[in-house]
Structure 1
Amino acid sequence: MSWWTDEWLAVDLETTGLDPKADRIVSAATAWCERGVPFETRTWLADAGRQEIPVEATKIHGITTRHAHRYGRPTGLVAHAVAGLMSVAADDRAPVVVANAPFDLTMLACELHRTSYRAPEVMRVLDPLLLDWRLDPFREGRRRLEDLCRHYEVEHGGPHRADADAAAAAAVAYRIVGHFPQLQAMTLAEVHEAQVKWAAERAAARQAHKRRTDPAAVVDGHWPLIPRQGVTA
């Protein structure tokens, strides 16, 4: 069997906002998958203690501060549990599938930093949003995860539910690998390193475009996560 037909681990987070340095995890899910189909899913509701969940975030994922306080586990423990399964995947040389990896993995790394626990450093990531952008660059239309689900004919259990998004990301990634033989011919390590390069190229192109109107615009090209800076408690 090859890496793309072996088991994968998909990960997804829902959060209080879009700033990994200051915002917090609200819910998380992992899904062990085979050929893009989940066979073991775990979910967590997280409570960040003093941090409120903004109304705007609740409108997206449906989780209120009161609900998180009442039923959630401490955010650090949730991050630790997710990272533990990612370590298992790394040890097994299994891909970790994360849609928009720089956001979710940076958010997770910041949460782990608050608890002095480190994420696995040697892991191979598949980011279906990045793969789709690189391998089908001229397709028109939006490219959110739900858009990719429609394009690759993947059923989505509901956007912004961590378990449904994790399952959808794995299914889309599997369809992409199956659709593009050049990925199948590469090792998992080669696919990972290619994505590092593609993300940098994409960021450079976006930065050049933005600087037409804003000469100081900066687009970070780090992938699969952005180095921590100024993480708040």
Structure 2
Amino acid sequence: MSRPWYLRDWFAVDLETTGLDVDTDRIVTAATARCVRGVPVETRTWLADAGRQDIPLQATKVHGIATRHAHRYGQPVETVARAVATAVVEAANDGLPVVVANAPYDLTLISRELWRANAWRGIKPKSDLLILDPLLLDWALDKTREGRRRLTDLCHHYEVEHDRPHQADADAAAAAAVAYRIVCHYPQLQAMTLAEVHAAQVGWAVERAAARQAYKRRTGDPSAVVGGHWPLIPRQGMAS
């Protein structure tokens, strides 16, 4: 009898970038980690160079990578994006859950890099890409808890050791560990198939966006709009 999906290998992905705009910012570092019960057993990392685009000082303060270092040692950013996307597709084809903290940011940014470089050819999974987003799972299953819910906050709440925040390999491992703790903590997730958990997150993302939008409008921004696309934000004029 095959093991339940949550006891099989998982695959985690994380990026560090030049900023927060998925349409204009670029990959700086990337990591993937194959994990067993939230523990990485095989990790790959990349350093990217976006050519003439500098890394803002504020971003360097977060992840520690400066423009000069990226220019000197990094691979072309489109090469990194294609390598990460190919690894994700291979994981999906193997039937692995793909763990991405704040999936709409990381996955969308990868897709934008591929689109800019016209590098989509051949990168398409034969199986469904099924995502576990620990930030979304935590919100959906524990909505009343107060406090911030960044990855570092979730590590503290779920007692996951994470001593190198904003390092892509460490963040990927931490995201997998937190997601595994969440699944272990909530039997209702274990009772669902992986496809059902993925589908539930699509609905939860819409619900969370509506809650955020309502909060913003109540607290001083009456025209705020918060999108609920998950796990990928479509380009303008494109269907999700």
TM bin, normalised by shorter chain, reads over 0.9
Partners of 2:178 and 2:223 lie apart in 1 by: 35
Q: Do the aligned residues in 2 keep the contact of 1:8 with 1:96 (CA within 8 Å)?
A: yes
Moved more, 168-177 or 201-210: 201-210
1:8 alignment counterpart: 10
Moved more, 133-142 or 94-103: 133-142
Partners of 1:20 and 1:57 lie apart in 2 by: 14
Q: How many angstroms does 1:35 deviate by?
A: 0.6
2:55 alignment counterpart: 53
1:195 and 2:204 are equivalent in the alignment: no
Partners of 2:172 and 2:163 lie apart in 1 by: 10
Could you give the per-residue CA deviations for residues 130-166 of structure 1, whole angstroms, max 9, x where no partner exists?
0001111111211110111111111113110000000
Could you give the per-residue CA deviations for residues 83-119 of structure 1, whole angstroms, max 9, x where no partner exists?
0111111111211100011111111110111122335
Select 1:74's aligned residue among 76, 82, 91: 76
1:220 alignment counterpart: 227
SS in 2 for 1:29: strand
1:184 and 2:190 are equivalent in the alignment: yes
1:19 alignment counterpart: 21
Structure 2 runs not aligned, ≥5 long: none
Partners of 2:49 and 2:163 lie apart in 1 by: 24
SS in 1 for 2:235: coil
Normalised TM-score (structure 2): 0.93
1:149 and 2:155 are equivalent in the alignment: yes
CA-atom RMSD in angstroms: 1.2
Q: How many angstroms does 1:204 deviate by?
A: 1.1
- Report the count of equivalent residues: 230
SS in 2 for 1:156: coil
AA aligned opposite 1:197? G
2:137 alignment counterpart: 131
AA aligned opposite 1:164? A
Select 1:87's aligned residue among 86, 89, 92: 89
Q: How many angstroms does 1:39 deviate by?
A: 0.4
Partners of 1:136 and 1:208 lie apart in 2 by: 19
> 1:99-178 maps to which residues of 2 (within 5 A)?
99-118=101-120, 120=124, 122-178=128-184
AA aligned opposite 1:152? Y
- Identity within the alignment, %: 71
AA aligned opposite 2:101? A
Could you give the per-residue CA deviations for residues 31-54 of structure 1, whole angstroms, max 9, x where no partner exists?
000110100000000000000000
